[in-house]
Amino acid sequence: MLPAGAQVYVGRPKLIVIVVIDQFRADQLNRHQTEFKGRGFNLFMKEGAWFTDCYYDYANTKTGPGHATIGTGAYSDGHGIDSNEWWDAGRSFDQQVSSVEDEHYKLVDLPASSIPANQPGAPPSAAKYVVGASPLNLRASTLGDELRLATQGKARVFGVSLKDRASILPTGQSANAAYWIDSASGQFTTSTYYMDHLPEWATAFNKSGRIEQAEKEALVEGTTQFYELVGHLPAANTYELDFAKALITAEKLGQNGVTDELVVSLSPHDLQGHQFGPDSEQETEMDLALDRDLDSFFTWLDQNIGLQNVWLALSADHGVAPVPGEAANLGVHGVALDMLKVYDAVNAELNKRHSAGQKVKYLLPNPDLPYIVLDKRVFEKAGIDEQKAENEVAEILPGAVASLNPNPEPVITDKPLDAEPSDKRLPPFPRVQYVYTRLQLANGQLPPSQWGTLIAHSYVSHGNWYVMAILDAFQMQGTGAFAGTTHFSPWSYDRHVPLAFYGAPFKPGEYHQLVAPVDLAVTFASLAGVNRPSAAVGRVLTEAIKPAPARGN
C-alpha cells in the first residue's frame, strides 16, 4: 500500500505546459504581486514553487538563444543558437540568416497577399526573403524531443508563438508542429518541415473571425501589419492563448496515455517593451492584462484536463534594461550609442593601417551587439590572419566607442540648484568594458571565474571571425537615450527571468537560491522519468520537489 500522501503524487502528468513570456524581467512579478488576482501569476507565486533568483548564465541574452535554452537545458555553446540572426559563412556573405530560416522548406497556407516573391503567385509588393523555417541550427535535443523518444513518438509536442524562432526552438527537432503568425495578416502558419498544409482546426481558427476581433481590440481593423500593430498589445496575448486552447482541444493533448507537451511563447511583452521599457505604464498594464489572461487559460485547463494532471512552468527568454535615458536621469550610466558610427570609426582606422586612402569595409554590416563580425575575405586579401585581425579590432574598438562621447564637459544649464543629478556631474559616456576575440572564446582563454564561465557559455562559431564586445552596464546600441531599450548583454537585468512551477510534484514556496533557466528542462525530465536533453547542463531543483512516496514491501 502506498502512503496516503502518495495518492496525489502523479508520476507522469498528462500534459506539460511551459509558458514563456518574451522579455519579462523577474522583478516585474514582485512589483505587481499585490495587484495580481485569481489564479494567473498567483498559481505559480502562491500555489507553486516560485524561484525569485533565476539568471541566465550566458552573455548573449536574446530571443533565439533564450528559447533554445528553455527547451534544451543548455547554453549557446551546447545548443548552437547565439543570436536571432547571424552571418553564416557557409550560407551567405550577402545577407544574415535567421536562427530558424531554412530554404529547404516553405511556409504553409499563407494568404495570397503574403506569398513571398520567391514563390509562384506572389503579389508585386511581396517581401523577397521569406523562406520556410526549421530547427536546422538547433544542435541539442529538447525536453519535447526526449518525451517523444521515450514514447516512440506517442507523446505529442507543440509550440505556439507570434515568432517563428520562439515556437520552433523550445520545442525541438521532433515536435509535431510549431505554429507562429504570418506578420501581415496575423494568420497562424507553420513550415513544410512539419506538414504540407495546416490542419483543419487551424484553418478554421484563421477563418473564425478571431483575427478581426484582435484587430478590433487593437483599434486597427483591416490592417496588413498585424505583427506591428496588434502584436505589441495585450490583445495579442489573448489571441495566442485562444489559439493554444484550440490546439489543445483539436489535438486532444493530455488524452494520449503519455505525457504531451505544449510550449506557449507570449510575444507582446517584447514588442511593446522595446518601445517603452520595463518601467512604463504600458508595461504595467500588460503585466496585469496577462495576469487575467493566464487566470482564464489555467481555469480552462483545469476544466478541460484537470490541473492535477498538468505540470506548468513559467519563464522568460531574457530580461531587459531600463530605457537608458531614464537610468541616466537617476544618475546611472545609461547610454544609447550609434553603432553605425562606431563601425565607421573602426573601418576608418583599419583603412589607415592597411589600405590608406581607400574606403574598404572590414566589418560585415548590421551591427548586432554583443557580436562584431569581421569580413574575413577582406582581411585575408590583405594578408592578415584571424588572430591579428581580431586582435586589431579588439584594440581599436574601445577608442572608437569612447570617441562617440557627445558631452565631454558638464553641460551648464539653468537647472535649479537642487536639481538631480547635480549640474557638476559629468553626463554618462559610452565605454567598452571587455572585448573577447573569437579565438579567445574558442580556446577557452577566459578568466577562471564565474564571469569566464558565463562568457564561455555564449560561444558558437558560424564560420566567421568576430569579437564579442561588452559595453558598460546600462549601455546599448540605440538611436537616442529615450528611443526605447533592448537586451543583449551579460548584465543582471538582461539575465534575470522568472522561473516557477506548478503541479503535483512541487513543494509550494518562495525559493531564493540562485537558479537558471537550464534547470527547467532537466527538472521536468527527471520528474517525468526521461533522459535529460542531449546537451543539458541544468540542475534538478530537488529543493522544490516533494519527497517521493515510500517504496513499500
Smallest distance from the beta carbon of 265 to Zn ion, in angstroms?
A: 8
Contact between 84 and Zn ion (CB under 5 A)?
no
Return the SS3 of 303.
helix
CA 272 – CA 494 distance, rounded (Å): 16
Residue matched to cell numbers 558560424: 462
Locate cell 546611472: which residue?
A: 332
> Measured from the CB of residue 481, what is the shortest distance to Zn ion in angstroms?
22
The interface region with Zn ion, picked from 37-45, 57-65, 128-136, 142-150 by CB under 5 A, is 57-65
Please state the closest distance from residue 412 (CB atom) to Zn ion, in A. Answer: 41
CA angle (386, 389, 390) in 5-degree steps: 85
Q: Give min distance, CB of 318 to Zn ion, in A.
A: 5
Among the residue ranges 15-23, 283-291, 365-373, 513-521, the one whose residues contact Zn ion (CB under 5 A) = 15-23
Residue with smaller CB distance to Zn ion, 323 or 364: 323
Coil/strand/helix, residue 506? strand
- Residue 317 interacting with Zn ion (CB under 5 A): yes
Q: CA 148 to CA 402: how far, in whole Å?
A: 52
Kindly indicate which of the ranges 139-147, 309-317, 415-423, 429-437 contains the residues binding Zn ion, using the contact rule CB under 5 A: 309-317
Q: How far is the CB of 60 from Zn ion (least distance, A)?
A: 12
DSSP 3-state of 415: coil
Find the shortest distance in angstroms from Cβ 487 to Zn ion. Answer: 7
- CB distance 170 to 263 below 8 Å: yes
Q: Minimum Å distance from CB 54 to Zn ion?
A: 16
The piece of 62-70, 192-200, 472-480, 502-510 that touches Zn ion (CB under 5 A) is 62-70
The CA distance from 344 to 359, in Å, is 10
* Grid coordinates belonging to 510: 518562495
Please, which residue, 283 or 390, has the CB nearer to Zn ion? 283
Shortest Cβ 270–Zn ion spacing (Å): 4
Specify the 3-state DSSP secondary structure of 523.
Answer: helix
d(CA 80, CA 108): 26
Peptide bond before residue 421 is cis, with ω within 30 degrees of 0: yes
Query: Smallest distance from the beta carbon of 20 to Zn ion, in angstroms?
Result: 9
Backbone φ, ψ for residue 510 (5° rounding):
-105, 120
Q: Which residues ranging from 523 to 552 are in contact with Zn ion (CB under 5 A)?
A: none
With beta carbons less than 8 A apart as the criterion, state whether 497 and 26 touch: yes
Q: Cβ closer to Zn ion: 99 or 223?
A: 99
Q: How far is the CB of 165 from Zn ion (least distance, A)?
A: 9
**211/518 with CB nearer Zn ion:** 518
Could you give the CA distance from residue 260 to residue 271 in angstroms, rounded to a whole number? 29
Closest to Zn ion by CB, 169 or 525: 169
Q: Which is nearer to Zn ion, 370 or 430 (CB)?
A: 370
Identify which of residues 69 and 134 has a Cβ nearer to Zn ion in the complex: 69
Binds Zn ion by CB under 5 A, chosen from 60, 61, 63, 72: 63
Q: Rounded to the nearest 10 degrees, how much is the dihedral formed by the CA atoms of 155, 311, 54, 299?
A: 120
User: How many residues form the binding site for Zn ion (CB under 5 A)?
Assistant: 5
Footprint (CB under 5 A) of Zn ion, residues 411-450: none
CB atoms near residue 3 (< 10 Å): 10
| Cβ nearer to Zn ion, comparing 57 with 317 | 317
Decide: is 22 part of the binding site for Zn ion (CB under 5 A): yes
**Which of the ranges 20-28, 116-124, 326-334, 451-459 carries the binding residues for Zn ion, by CB under 5 A?**
20-28
Residue with smallest beta-carbon separation from Zn ion: 63
Residue 348, Cα to own-chain centre: how many angstroms? 34
How is 125-180 classified by DSSP, letter by letter? T--S----B-STT--S--HHHHHHHHTTT-S-EEEEESSHHHHHTTT-TT-SEEEE
Q: Which is nearer to Zn ion, 317 or 494 (CB)?
A: 317
For residue 212, the one-letter residue type is: E
Residues 245-284 that bind Zn ion (CB under 5 A): 270
Binding site for Zn ion (CB under 5 A): 22-23, 63, 270, 317
